[in-house]
């Protein structure tokens, strides 16, 4: 393990490519944690991760109920993937997750993004994915600094002491 003081982490560049609660919140928690520790944070949302920064979808993200081996039912039993195809199950599981998060005072996506930006973090949308889904700058929340290419994002990541994290 490297000595933290010898090789300090100065910047994190986080890529969020999935739009489920568990993936989006992993990104938001890590970005917020970075800015709270004084680490420069840049977050790049691509493909279905764009849902987290799209105005009409950002607070409507769901938990993936099909093919999620980590899903558990109350009591700790594995969640049968077959149940995930039933109407209303994904919505119910997502509501339960959001309720548990609210009990822990975890903010909704829009507030989390606001906290990250207020702490000095930067939020970006992927140009390729935005073009693919026909999204424009006005479709995204006000916390999105710009729509950029992956090359632009990698250029921002340059320098010693930078870590790129893919969630």
Distances (CA, A) of 134 to 24, 50, 110: 21, 12, 21
pLDDT values of the chain reduced to their tens digit, one per residue, 167 residues? 454 566 678 899 999 999 999 899 999 999 999 999 999 999 999 999 999 999 999 988 988 777 666 777 777 777 777 676 777 777 877 778 788 888 988 999 999 999 999 999 999 999 999 999 999 999 999 999 999 999 999 998 887 778 888 88
Q: Residue 50, Cβ neighbours under 10 Å: how many?
A: 25
The structure's pTM equals 0.85
How far is residue 127's CA from residue 153's CA, in Å, rounded to a whole number?
11
The tokens describing 33, both together, are 């944690």
Q: Quickly name the fold that domain 11-59+108-166 has.
A: Hypothetical Protein Ychn; Chain: A, (3.40.1260)
Distances (CA, A) of 115 to 3, 23, 28, 33, 35: 30, 18, 10, 10, 9
């Amino acid at each position: 393990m490297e000595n933290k003081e010898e090789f300090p982490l100065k910047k994190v560049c986080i890529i969020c490519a999935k739009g489920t609660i568990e993936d989006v919140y992993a990104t938001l928690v890590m970005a917020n944690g970075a800015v709270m520790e004084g680490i420069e944070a840049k977050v790049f949302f691509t493909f279905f991760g764009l849902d987290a920064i799209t105005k009409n979808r950002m607070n409507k993200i769901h938990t993936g109920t099909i093919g999620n081996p980590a899903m558990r039912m109350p009591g700790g039993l594995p969640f049968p993937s077959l149940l995930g195809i039933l109407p209303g199950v994904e919505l119910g599981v997502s509501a339960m997750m959001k309720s548990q998060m609210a009990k822990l005072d975890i903010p909704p996506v829009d507030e989390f993004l606001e906290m990250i930006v207020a702490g000095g973090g930067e939020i970006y949308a992927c140009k390729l994915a935005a073009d693919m889904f026909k999204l424009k700058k006005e479709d995204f929340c006000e916390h999105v600094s710009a729509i950029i290419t992956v090359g632009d994002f990698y250029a921002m990541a340059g320098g010693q002491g930078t870590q790129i994290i893919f969630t």
